[in-house]
Amino acid sequence: MMPLPSIACLLSFECVARHGSVSRAAVELNLTQSAVSRQIRQLEELLDVSLFERVRQRVVITDAGRLYLKDVNRVMVDLKDSTSRIMSCGGSATLLNLAVLPTFATRWLVPRLPGFLEKHQDVTVNFSTRTSQFDFSVEPFDAAIHYGSPSWPGTVAYHLMDEDTVPVCSPKYEALQRLKKPVDLRRASLLHQSTRTEAWADWFEAMEMDHAHPLRGPRFEQFAMIAQAAVSGLGVALLPKLLIEEELASGKLTLLFGQSIRSARSYYIVLPEVKAASPLANAFTRWIIREAKMSSPVDYS
């Protein structure tokens, strides 16, 4: 069996590399300089490479050390995250780890989550952001909220809801630009979501309307950012109605024209096949499917 370095050696290596100094690393780790130097030597002997060189009273990491540091940092982050997840359950064996879409979780899932936790008071739910498919065997989540198609190898997918996108802007921007009908958008600033660059072009095509520059306009990485941009009067955004319920209800955003488009993709809850029989994962799946069915569209026009 290949020998592995101790955590103490890896901590000393990372700390010396970060500070470029054995003495500073010793202060941070609450060790003597000789103890830190000894751990570095032990690591170098195990690897049979030099990790640092002495240059004018400074400790400079070598090319081999820099390469090793990338992997060490990744391992340490993974270990820290795993430790944090276990500690968060407070001794409970009932832990649910979810991979979620950030805006969907913030705007739709989290506000409804108390209903699930009231019936499962011993459950601890952890959230991590994932915006695309991943390998459940590498990242051991119990379930994932997925936007796209139900095709995900090694998983079981359950449909949650379809998505209707609508053009919205602030009431002030609507009045300023006199946006009465879709053709008026030709003089408006179009706000774009960076992962859905064709959304406006598809909308104009569905409206059977020409637009000279459907791809022109500022881009935003997340829906929360583009929603705030529309609230701030920067232009007209094309957004999923289910993610802007609060802004529409409060009047911060105005629904234009009443023209929505049903997206070709949908929201799903996805379970890895090895979790398909898990009582907790199934309880959460049944609950979120019921919540999705109860979330009927609201007319804000």
In whole angstroms, what is the distance from residue 104 CA to residue 295 CA? Answer: 13
Residues 167 and 243 in one domain: yes
Model confidence pLDDT, tens digit, residues 129-173: 998 899 988 888 999 999 999 999 999 999 999 999 999 999 999
Number of C-beta neighbours around residue 37 at 10 A = 18
pLDDT at 93: 54
Q: Domain with 123 in it: what CATH number?
A: 3.40.190.10
- pLDDT given at position 88: 56
pLDDT above 70 as % of the chain: 95
* Residue indicated by tokens 């979330």: 295
274 in the same domain as 132: yes
Whether residue 257 is found in the same domain as residue 206: yes
**What is the total count of domains within the chain?**
3
Residue 87 pLDDT more than 50?
A: yes
Residues 179-234: tens digit of each pLDDT = 999 899 988 999 999 888 888 888 888 888 888 788 889 999 888 899 999 999 99
Residue 198 lies in a domain: yes
Domain that residue 48 falls in? 7-88
Same domain, 174 and 255: yes
In this structure, are residues 200 and 238 in contact, taking their beta carbons and an 8 Å threshold?
yes
* pLDDT tens, residue by residue, 280-299: 999 999 999 999 998 755 44
Beta bridge partners of 164: 262
Residue 51 is predicted with a pLDDT of: 95
Most distant CA atoms of the chain, gap in Å: 76
